[in-house]
Amino acid sequence: MAGTGRADPAVVAGAYATGLYTVEWTAPLPAAQKVAATRPWATPAATAKLAHGENYQPGRTDPRVAAGQRDTVERLDIEPGDPEPNGVTYVITVHLTTTTAAGQTTGQAVLVLHLSRTDGQWLVDDTRLLT
């Protein structure tokens, strides 16, 4: 499934962003959820960077865990960024719904993804969160 979609960089960028922002905070190891969901769309270096991110290693006292938080991607706005000599860049606005025991809220995050082409496939090789 993932292999066929790697020919289109916009599909790869969208799949990566969706995997990055969809998380069940009360499930064990939110970081492992994100790594598993994004790994098919990323280089090993990008996957390693994500695996070591502190924001995705909450303890039991983390407010997201205490609230039973679940984040779901509702929509992605994917825009091409500046031309890159060794790949392609996308600016992605991620529209999220956050569900907790107290109800639902909506929000946005803006992410810049750089993709490179290796062996005929596009993969995310760098990420930067803008908001």
Residue-wise pLDDT tens digits, 16-55: 999 999 988 877 677 788 899 999 999 999 999 888 875 5
Domain boundaries, the chain: 2-129
Tell me the two tokens of residue 19: 């995997």
Which amino acid type is present at position 67? A
Class of domain 2-129: alpha beta
Rounded distance, CA 101 to CA 54, Å? 25
Rounded distance, CA 105 to CA 96, Å? 8
Q: Tell me the chain's radius of gyration from C-alpha atoms.
A: 15
Residue-wise pLDDT tens digits, 77-123: 999 987 777 899 999 999 999 999 899 999 999 999 999 998 889 99
Q: What is the pLDDT of residue 2?
A: 46
